[in-house]
Amino acid sequence: MLFRSGLHWHRSGPRCNGSSGAYPYTLLPCADGLVCLICRARDEWGRLVAAMGDPPWSAEPRYRDLRAMGTQYPAEVDAKLAPWLATRSRDSLLALGLEHSIPMAPVRTLAEVLRTPQFDARRAWEALPTDAGTARAPALPFVVHATGGAPLRAPEAPHAAPARRATDPSRPLAGLRVLDLGWVWSAPLLAGLLTEFGAEVIKVEHGGRLDAMRMRGRPLRDGAPMPGPSIELSPSFHQANHGKLGATLDLKHPEGLALLRRLVADADVLVENMSPGALARAGLDDDALAAVNPRLVVLSMSAAGQHGPGAAMRAYAPGQIGRAHV
């Protein structure tokens, strides 16, 4: 995948190779340790720069091209961030990230991980018996519940519905319809795997803010970038989204929200990895979804879980401390 994007794998220290396409994707020193910074979208980089006070260098075109910064001169940009980071602690940077929705997380020691308040709030640990007594170990990485306190039951067989795309009837999930409201990797990849088992998956994006995986750049053929619309050519995007149908909706627009409700009414599963409360702010919290479709199974995969003091944390890959919520 990296090779097709023109990035050749090599050991690169605290930085993901080629910044995985966009700056930043790295560990950087701060006043009392290291912080993990990963921005995949322009608005995330914009929020980080704004939190820094919009330094004059940030207005230069050279420091507004995420892909060029990430693949061509990331160390140069690191040096721009270094003085600001050096005056701030890991805890203050975590609080700043939570306040401004910046994907930023402290690098913790094992002892600090065990004391993380979010893990305690999410009951992430359990005691396991050992010959010497008990040991602290990770609990199940998900929480399952039914809305309204009703007993959870297995979903019914997929109901008959018009206009469902025919899939291989021999596959175990044939006839199942899945709405993918995922972003970048975790939820889209999971939904992509469901297509392999025969499910019909509809990926829903915002037309004005397409999935950032589309922005990873054109693949190369014989050393030259392939022609065509760059947003349709990213190998990383197609790896996670092959076999899906697609739709673009603006959930802040009444018509877009109405269209999503129509999709929800005829779906069996909804998968999303947005920040906690994003669907509720659009008018589709658990109760609203259940009212539209009481048999809908919802999988929410936010970075740090749906509840707890760190639930608002935004993160990608190594910054995540979450447990899934069903």
Tokens of 130: 């050992």
265-318 residue pLDDT tens:
999 999 998 888 888 888 888 899 999 999 999 998 887 778 888 877 887 777
CA distances 149 to 46, 67, 211, 288, Å, are 41, 47, 34, 15
**Chosen CATH of 17-107 out of 3.40.190.10, 3.10.20.30, 3.30.1540.10, 1.10.600.10:** 3.30.1540.10
Q: What is the pLDDT of residues 164-204, one digit of tens each?
A: 666 677 888 998 999 999 988 889 999 999 999 999 999 99
CATH superfamily of 142-325: Crotonobetainyl-coa:carnitine coa-transferase; domain 1 (3.40.50.10540)
The ranges assigned to domains in the chain are: 17-107, 142-325
Nearest CA among 118, 114, 116 for reference residue 127: 114
Model pTM?
0.76
Number of H helices, E strands in the chain: 11, 14
